Copies of this chain bind each other. A is one copy, B any other.
């Protein structure tokens, strides 16, 4: 099914007014979707149900026994593959840290109204599947093909466009792009794309099309909603007479480090309580632009910074890296900041880089802690 206009349903996109609280529409998304509870970064591989989830429409009702992936368009031999056939092909497993492109959106000011993530839309899984390159080689890519368009089975309307969720990648695709049928050694859970999804290591989550049912090779860049309208870094155009900024596409994950909150929490404020003395501060850091080469911590709100010890990526170049730094907690209130720098030289900003859709906000995390006498 092609995308088509559907008017009168979608509210217009908007930016929250200064000081405007989260609305019931944003809350309904926050209640459906969920982030990683930050203490679960203790697990190198995120257990089922703790990995972040963002579903645009409904989780479709799928059946692995009848599922078909069609591969068509600008190629020599169209294919139609069932799960049984895909599972019989040579597979590889990749440990991949995935992050929603909208992570950090609710920290932007003014706030773009959409799924209101704070910092927790991340997770790491072992994805097993067939390299997409192998399937495309079997189909025989035509010389004029420039992109592959991936269609998921989830269906809805978004900003006036009725659509299946659909995204493209330029050809040739990377060698680690997978048609994944297995997550952490078992079948994909419904909310992670059962029975088949695309995995595009290093890219934000919008590229990893879930409930994958069709791949079409095309001879011109895909201009569908999720590619050309959503998921672009756009400046603000305050003047309605000015044409909207077409923006740059959202692609690879920007670097980020997160702290496993130390001590114990207050239920409502999530402030952390510690007793004075030595404490190991630890967490994870990742980037889609290359290995993280430096993690710095500030325990005084940014006045001074110290280098943490960062674990090298080892055999998992697409997975987050552990880091730690020992700290002696003195009584009082502190703000802990943590900042990652990757091998490409990118580093996390202290102030938010604003954009219209609220994408890629990797400003440094600030964690309030209260160190109180025993």
**A53 and B59 in contact, given A21-B20, A31-B117, A267-B156 (Cβ under 8 angstroms):** no
A31 to B11 Cα, complex, angstroms: 23
Please tell me if A221 contacts chain B, counting CB pairs below 8 Å.
no
Q: Does A87 belong to the interface (CB within 8 Å)?
A: no
A37 at the interface (CB under 8 A from B): yes
Assuming the contacts A24-B106, A55-B37, A191-B37, asked whether A156 and B6 have C-beta atoms less than 8 A apart, the reply is: no
How many residues of A sit at the interface, in one of the four size bands? 35 or more
Q: Is A190 an interface residue (CB 8 A)?
A: yes
Interface string of A107-136 (1 = CB under 8 A from B): 000000110111010000000000000000
Q: Which of B49, B157, B158, B269 contacts A25 (CB 8 A)?
A: B269
Binds B, one of A39-47, A74-82, A138-146, A335-343: A39-47
A181 at interface (Cβ–Cβ under 8 A)?
Answer: no
Copies of this protein chain in the complex: 2
Contact of A156 among B56, B159, B264 (CB under 8 A): B264
Tell me the residues in window 65-100 of chain A with beta carbons closer than 8 Å to chain B beta carbons: none
- A220: interface (CB < 8 Å): no
The answer to whether A59 touches B39, judged by C-beta atoms less than 8 angstroms apart, is: yes
* Cβ A61 vs Cβ B42 within 8 A: yes
B58 x A27 contact (CB < 8 A):
no
| Interface check A32, CB cutoff 8 A | yes
Q: Which residue of B lies closest to A56 (CB)?
A: B267
Q: What's the minimum C-beta distance from A105 to chain B, rounded to whole angstroms? A: 11
Contact of A370 among B9, B43, B61 (CB under 8 A): B9
Interchain CB contact under 8 A, A270 and B25: yes
Residues of chain B within 8 A of A238, CB atoms compared: none
| Cross-chain contact A267 with B157 (CB below 8 angstroms) | yes
Q: Secondary structure of the A side of the interface?
A: loop
A6-B273, A30-B31, A34-B34 are known contacts. Are A157 and B117 too (CB-CB below 8 A)?
Answer: no
- Shortest Cβ gap from A38 to chain B (Å): 8
Interface contact A40-B190, CB-CB below 8 Å:
yes
Most B Cβ at <10 Å: residue of A51, A191, A192: A191
- Report Cα–Cα, A34/B40, bound state, in Å: 15
Given A43-B190, A157-B266: 12 more A-B contacts, CB < 8 Å: A9-B271, A10-B269, A22-B22, A25-B269, A28-B270, A31-B34, A31-B116, A49-B53, A49-B189, A114-B268, A156-B264, A159-B268
Q: Give the B-binding residues of A (Cβ under 8 A).
A: 6, 8-11, 20-35, 37, 39-40, 42-43, 47-51, 53, 55-59, 61, 106, 113-114, 116-118, 120, 155-159, 162, 189-192, 261, 264-271, 273, 370, 372
